[in-house]
Chains A and B, each alone.
Chain A
């Protein structure tokens, strides 16, 4: 009887997620267009990926750069602003609301907004020129040296406020007598932040670092919408490369191999974090 209630959703999961995941592992070992018979080729796809496919290695590099960006910039911004916001009372709720709003916007809208603002002829750079600040009108998304950074900036614009709210919520559950004790010991606000606030929200920071590490290898929306991985592959990511291989060039087997690789890297990232946690970084 109890399992009858659980069965429907479990069956749905098995069909949509678990079954295809297992099938994906098999197809990664085949040469297959997605139609007809898949031809078993062993580890050929992986050999090609890691030793011959420069586009794949480039995409992997971009995901690693993305990881480095998202493990630092949003965390520093979110921690600093949460600490500032935790001290103010008047207007605090309104400010929180404002920071949260970008997070509820769909990726297509966020991308649309920033495609306008980052435009070299009509963007914010031109507006600043009218105010006398020159040199910022630039085709950020159209230059292969800046495209990836511009996409990361846009994604972070919609993301960091949410991270900040998470940290702020965690900070508010720190018992206030810890702060009182720190004050009695003569701690200044910086020392309070370092020795009371940061340890108090460490579980939240840790968890979000881990999730960021996983997500950084799966990012698709902002890259696809803003640049399609271009110009000249300069913002190609594993997910956009998989999409192109599987759904535009009909290399289903090769695409599946990229999918496995992405998932394996994300899994390794999660494992590293769990390992450190067990080793006494405790939460």
Chain B
């Protein structure tokens, strides 16, 4: 396919690409179709369009899967984690990029090493410590962990964004008599919004989708994020695909809408280091 030259052979490119686009999007369409089918319709027609559109599936899934509670929980985890990461990670990034602490390079190496420590190395002692501290099976316990997991990425991204900005505005503010706190809150934070948005999207998506830590560290149904709650839901209603599909669509709809609206920021952020298998 690389050998021939000229424009005409781009047709082959398009054929292959469109087939693979079908492989990428087809399964998601099947999920959407199934979410609208009746139980009997699904039993005889599992892949195609619904014969009769059944919106009630969404109502049933919403009630039986307790999506009102779990979507709220996930939102709480996302908001508090993003806020914590931006505040604590942002402070560290600001210091590393602007205040020139002694040993900052060593600290970056430490941070890089730290971010590669596997979850499975420390999960057992962390679990036991969380139990002893009364943080097991609490919202705060999970949020603290999520902030710790996500902050190395945030520090690296915010730091490099800051390094790419000129210091002129800050120096001007200092000449005008602003102290360091005022320089940070009045000058630096306002120009950092693009980077905050990128970090917020990547971290938010990660927390929204997170499964293994929530599975291990939460037991109470009323605290569960939508992922582990949905997992339990699919275990309970294993064969009722119209119900589980409707639940899945409700979980991914906000993500897909946000992704399509802010695609550029998502892709930049994810390709810069929010990479997970």
Contacts and interface: CB of A to CB of B under 8 A. Distances in A.
Interface of A: 1-6, 8-10, 12-13, 15-21, 23-24, 27, 34, 70, 81, 83-85, 87-88, 91, 95, 97-109, 112-117, 119, 122-124, 126-127, 155, 157, 159, 161-162, 165-166, 169, 188-190, 192-193, 211-212, 214-221, 224-225, 238-239, 242-243, 246-247, 252, 255-256, 258-260, 262-263, 266, 270
A117 B3 contact: no
A190 B5 CA distance: 10
Contact of A108 (B27, B205, B216, B230): B230
B1 A262 contact: no
B46 A106 contact: no
B91 A27 contact: no
Contacts of A266: 118
Contact of A5 (B2, B92, B209, B248): B92
B266 A104 contact: yes
Residues of B contacting A: mostly: helix
A104 B205 contact: yes
Nearest to B34: A116
Contacts of B230: 108-109, 112
Contact of B46 (A97, A119, A225): A119
B118 A218 contact: yes
A246 B101 CA distance: 41
A106 B118 contact: no
Contacts of A9: 88-89, 91-92, 147, 151, 155
B125 A23 contact: yes
Residue of A4, A100, A161, A211 ringed by the most chain B CB atoms within 10 A:
A100
Contacts of A95: 17-18, 21
Contacts of A127: 46-48
Most buried by A among B94, B118, B255: B118
28 contacts: A2-B99, A3-B95, A6-B107, A9-B88, A12-B148, A17-B117, A20-B123, A23-B122, A23-B125, A24-B122, A98-B21, A108-B234, A112-B234, A116-B30, A116-B241, A157-B23, A157-B24, A159-B277, A162-B270, A190-B3, A214-B116, A218-B120, A219-B277, A246-B124, A247-B216, A255-B124, A256-B125, A259-B124
Nearest to B42: A122
A98 B24 contact: yes
Contacts of A162: 270, 275
B252 A188 contact: no
A254 B245 CA distance: 38
Contact of B270 (A1, A103, A258): A103
Contact of B227 (A13, A108, A124): A108
B96 A6 contact: yes
B20 interface: yes
Contacts of A17: 114, 117, 122, 148
Given A81-B17, A112-B245, A211 B267 contact: no
Interface in B118-143: 118-129
Contacts of A3: 95, 101
Given A215-B277, A246-B123, 12 more contacts: A2-B99, A5-B91, A5-B99, A10-B92, A34-B124, A81-B16, A88-B13, A108-B211, A109-B31, A122-B43, A247-B127, A262-B118
Contacts of B241: 116, 122
B145 A112 contact: no
Nearest to B201: A104
A89 B263 CA distance: 19
B25 interface: yes
Given A9-B88, A16-B126, A188 B120 contact: no
Nearest to A10: B92
B121 A98 contact: no
A165 B271 contact: yes
A225 B123 CA distance: 19
B163 interface: no
A252 B128 contact: yes
